[in-house]
């Protein structure tokens, strides 16, 4: 907890700036630098100065209080984690270049932790023996590092950052769901106390693994995430996870599709010289993109899905990425067929394949598997690799596709009659204008930044890292697991993004670095006496005060006051002190007008106003 005391401006370190740093693009980055909260050490690496650290610590304390209220227990693991733990879980290779790997003087592998599933699970594994110890929820507030390719937007996307990570361990799914729901409510309270308007959305679990997942987003013009929201109901999802109401009529069965295809003319080859893209085909054939089956070749990495019965699957070899991790195919290729007007959602594809990543194959790999250059792939006759069809394809009975030969396409292609995919899945990228899967209302898009994420991880880490306990009957069991993260730096920056004006920051009282800024017009004589007395009274009342005792012009002090955004400003001047009732000028940072308050009552009135906001 930040202690309430009065601090003189000349005794602290608040190097405010008039100019905006050249690399500062977003509001929070600009204002955190200008307000003297933050300084850059290297690309993606930032240091908090005293003013910024005070607000940062308040965010930390709010999170700690809400975590403790759920029954979670705080611990302090190390930031440097043995590489062996990451090899056990299988993520040593799966995390890719963002994982900072280091060696010590004994040539042993270590990881600068970007997340803490392995560390927490190793600690629990060594101590867990009985069902009586479950459920157990542990958390940390600790430094992380991810070797981002392009860190940007200040602390919104830095390489080093601080996160609250909580991990829960359970005997069954019902217990996990209870904690998952409690964490979701705790997150809503955390962001409300920080003054943030968040959008909870359904999300993909990504590299973390697991089933259920919910992200807490804030709207941002430069957000990394695209959100799909319904205009009618409360549906909200990250584009990586979003689904929509089908805009096609699916066949009831494969037999029904074959029957529908029987009335379609036989498949026909058509010459399409130098025509590769859907747009070019639409123009060439004078038809609509919805009549095409677009087929793309993908390479997937670390595939857990069983491919033993898939075309070409018998040639693939599995390996174990970790000690007790499930076997995976390090690399596998797939043909993905989707309606021509739609785009493949690569996150959905990776999730369907239980892969760490899915990316478009190289031109050479496309030619190797299809026998044709890029632009002429199609599902008919493609047998070298598995064909995965988006659900939209299953309704297409008279379509155009690539014919697996240069400058050649097929017309009158019917699903079920001319090809049957190895797998069918929802792989489309949902866009604005699609219909809500819950109510059928129109979906619209927003950009957002993720502040928090909660997961139902299931057995991904407890199984691969061999965590066991004895149940009521003495049988050895594997606990199921949940994961709950909040980014502190992002949360603080997002508060500034939401609360600012043209003059500077507008701090919510709960995380303001100080509650009151006292500005004597001149820090001398009766003004000094009155300012010091007011500061002491506020301090005695538990209010945090910054007293601007600098020998600067009042205009400079006012500008700095607006910039750093302390909620209440009190101006102490000779003119008001000589009134029949000696007074000071009180102004709320978010309001234009000021008012006079008697010196004798100012501290009491301010303390009452501030306490009301804090509670």
Mean pLDDT of 6-20: 93
Mean pLDDT of 379-401: 95
Same-domain check for residues 212 and 128: yes
CATH number where 263 lies: 3.90.960.10
Indicate the pLDDT class of residue 211, thresholds 50, 70 and 90: low
Q: 255-288: per-residue pLDDT in tens?
A: 999 998 899 999 999 999 988 788 888 889 888 8
Same-domain check for residues 152 and 184: yes
Yes or no: say if 376 and 404 are a contact pair by the CB < 8 Å rule.
Answer: yes
209 pLDDT higher than 50: no
How far is the C-alpha of 538 from the C-alpha of 5, rounded, in Å?
Answer: 8
Same-domain check for residues 388 and 315: yes
CATH number where 227 lies: 3.30.930.10
Q: 98-116: per-residue pLDDT in tens?
A: 899 999 999 999 999 999 9
Q: Which residue has the tokens 């790997």?
A: 101
Query: Domain residues for 522?
Result: 514-614
Q: 27-76: per-residue pLDDT in tens?
A: 999 999 999 999 999 999 999 999 999 999 999 999 999 999 999 999 99
| Residue 46 φ then ψ, to 5° | -130, 150
Indicate the pLDDT class of residue 224, thresholds 50, 70 and 90: confident
Mean pLDDT of 468-473: 96
CA-based angle 240:211:386, to the nearest 5?
Answer: 65
Across the chain, what does the average pLDDT equal? Answer: 93
Same-domain check for residues 356 and 285: yes
Buried b (16+ CB within 10 A) or exposed e, 406-434: bbbbbbbbbbbbbbebbebbebbbbbeeb
Same-domain check for residues 264 and 149: no
Same-domain check for residues 335 and 228: no
Q: Quick check: is 293 in a domain?
A: yes
Q: Quick check: is 23 in a domain?
A: no
387 pLDDT higher than 90: yes
Indicate the pLDDT class of residue 1, thresholds 50, 70 and 90: very low
pLDDT at position 321, please? 66
Q: Which residue has the higher pLDDT, 254 or 221?
A: 254
Indicate the pLDDT class of residue 93, thresholds 50, 70 and 90: confident
Same-domain check for residues 124 and 169: yes
Of 419, 401, 269, nearest in space to 338 by CA: 401
Q: 282-307: per-residue pLDDT in tens?
A: 889 888 899 999 999 999 998 999 99
207 pLDDT higher than 50: no
Question: Count of domains in the chain?
Answer: 3
Same-domain check for residues 172 and 96: yes
CATH number where 592 lies: 3.40.50.800
Q: Quick check: is 302 in a domain?
A: yes
Same-domain check for residues 600 and 473: no
The least confident of 238-252, 419-433, 579-593 is 238-252
396 pLDDT higher than 80: yes
CA distance readout (Å), 436 to 193, 351, 431: 31, 21, 11
Quick check: helix, strand or coil at residue 499? coil
pLDDT at position 393, please? 96
pLDDT at position 325, please? 64
pLDDT at position 141, please? 98
6 pLDDT higher than 90: no
Mean pLDDT of 460-484: 95
Same-domain check for residues 464 and 399: no
Yes or no: say if 162 and 140 are a contact pair by the CB < 8 Å rule.
Answer: no
Q: 164-202: per-residue pLDDT in tens?
A: 999 999 999 999 999 999 999 999 999 999 999 999 998
Rg (CA), the chain: 30
Q: Quick check: is 20 in a domain?
A: no
pLDDT at position 22, please? 84
Q: Quick check: is 223 in a domain?
A: yes
How far is the C-alpha of 610 from the C-alpha of 615, rounded, in Å?
Answer: 9
pLDDT at position 167, please? 98
Q: Identify the helix (H) or strand (E) that includes residue 488.
A: helix 488-498
In sequence order, the 6+-apart residues with CB closer than 8 A to the CB of 416 are 251, 254, 255, 256, 257, 258, 260, 261, 394, 397
DSSP lists the bridge partners of residue 546 as 7, 517
CA-based angle 365:370:376, to the nearest 5?
Answer: 105
Q: 530-565: per-residue pLDDT in tens?
A: 999 999 999 999 999 999 999 999 999 999 999 999
Share of the chain above pLDDT 70, in %: 97
pLDDT at position 279, please? 87
Q: 487-528: per-residue pLDDT in tens?
A: 999 999 999 999 999 999 999 999 999 999 999 999 999 999
Same-domain check for residues 228 and 306: no
Same-domain check for residues 537 and 409: no
Q: Quick check: is 506 in a domain?
A: no
End-of-domain residue from the set 462, 496, 530: 496
Q: Quick check: is 577 in a domain?
A: yes
DSSP type of residue 589: T
Q: How many CB atoms lie within 10 A of CB 472?
A: 10
Long-range contacts of 111-115 (CB under 8 A, 24+ apart): 111/80, 111/81, 111/82, 111/83, 111/85, 111/86, 112/79, 112/80, 112/145, 113/77, 113/78, 113/79, 113/80, 113/81, 113/142, 113/144, 113/145, 114/144, 114/145, 114/146, 115/144, 115/165, 115/208, 115/485
Indicate the pLDDT class of residue 149, thresholds 50, 70 and 90: confident
Indicate the pLDDT class of residue 122, thresholds 50, 70 and 90: very high
End-of-domain residue from the set 390, 425, 460: 425
Indicate the pLDDT class of residue 130, thresholds 50, 70 and 90: very high
Q: Quick check: is 12 in a domain?
A: no
pLDDT at position 2, please? 47
């Amino acid at each position: 907890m930040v202690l309430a005391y009065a601090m003189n401006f000349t005794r602290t370190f608040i190097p405010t700036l008039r100019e905006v740093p050249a690399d500062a693009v977003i509001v929070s980055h600009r204002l955190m630098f200008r307000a003297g909260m933050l300084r850059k050490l290297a690309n993606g690496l930032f240091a908090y100065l005293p003013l910024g650290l005070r607000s940062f610590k308040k965010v930390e304390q709010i999170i700690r209080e809400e975590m403790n209220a759920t029954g979670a227990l705080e611990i302090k693991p190390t930031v440097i984690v043995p590489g062996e733990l990451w090899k056990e879980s299988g993520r040593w290779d799966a995390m890719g270049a963002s994982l900072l790997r280091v060696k010590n003087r004994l040539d042993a592998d270590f990881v600068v932790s970007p997340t803490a599933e392995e560390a927490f699970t190793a600690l629990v594994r060594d101590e867990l023996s009985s069902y009586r110890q479950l459920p157990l929820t542990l958390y940390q507030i600790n430094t992380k590092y991810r070797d981002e390719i392009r860190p940007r937007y200040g602390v919104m996307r830095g390489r080093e950052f601080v996160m609250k990570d909580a991990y829960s361990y359970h005997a069954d799914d019902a217990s996990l769901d209870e904690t998952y729901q409690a964490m979701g409510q705790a997150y809503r309270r955390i962001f409300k106390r920080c003054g943030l308007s968040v959008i909870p959305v359904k999300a993909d679990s990504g590299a973390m693994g697991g089933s259920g997942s919910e992200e807490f987003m804030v709207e941002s013009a430069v957000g990394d995430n695209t959100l799909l929201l319904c205009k009618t109901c409360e549906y909200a999802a990250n584009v990586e996870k979003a689904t929509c109401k089908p805009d096609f009529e699916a066949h009831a069965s494969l037999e029904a599709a074959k029957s529908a295809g029987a009335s379609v003319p036989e498949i026909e080859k058509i010459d399409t010289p130098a025509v590769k893209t859907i747009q070019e085909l639409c123009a060439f054939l004078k038809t609509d993109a919805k009549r095409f089956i677009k087929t793309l070749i993908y390479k997937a990495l670390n595939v857990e899905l069983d491919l033993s019965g898939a075309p070409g699957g018998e040639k693939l070899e599995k390996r174990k990425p970790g000690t007790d991790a499930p076997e995976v195919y390090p690399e596998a290729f797939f043909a993905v067929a989707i309606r021509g007007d739609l785009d493949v959602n690569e996150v959905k594809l990776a999730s369907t394949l239980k892969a760490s990543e899915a990316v478009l194959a190289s031109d050479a790999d496309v030619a190797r598997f299809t026998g044709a250059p890029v632009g002429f792939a199609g599902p008919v006759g493609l047998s070298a690799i598995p064909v995965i069809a988006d659900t939209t394809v299953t309704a297409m009975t008279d379509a155009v596709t690539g014919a697996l030969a240069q400058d050649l396409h097929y017309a009158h292609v019917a699903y079920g009659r001319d090809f049957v995919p190895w797998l069918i899945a929802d792989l489309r990228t949902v866009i604005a204008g699609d219909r809500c899967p819950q109510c059928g209302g129109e979906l619209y898009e927003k950009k957002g930044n993720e502040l928090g994420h909660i997961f139902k991880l299931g057995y991904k880490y407890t199984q691969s890292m061999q965590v066991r306990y004895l149940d009521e009957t003495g049988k050895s069991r594997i606990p199921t697991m949940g994961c709950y993260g909040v980014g502190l730096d992002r949360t603080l920056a997002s508060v500034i993004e939401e609360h600012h004006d043209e003059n500077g920051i507008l701090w919510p009282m709960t995380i303001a670095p100080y509650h009151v800024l006292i500005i004597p017009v001149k820090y001398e004589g009766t003004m000094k006496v009155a300012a010091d007395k007011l500061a002491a009274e506020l301090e005695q009342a538990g209010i945090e005060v910054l007293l601007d005792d600098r020998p600067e012009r009042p205009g400079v002090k006012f500008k700095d006051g607006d910039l750093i955004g302390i909620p209440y400003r009190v101006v102490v001047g000779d003119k008001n002190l000589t009134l029949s009732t000696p007074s000071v000028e009180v102004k709320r940072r978010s309001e234009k007008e000021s008012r006079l308050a008697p010196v004798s009552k100012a501290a009491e009135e301010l303390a009452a106003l501030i306490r009301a906001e804090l509670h």
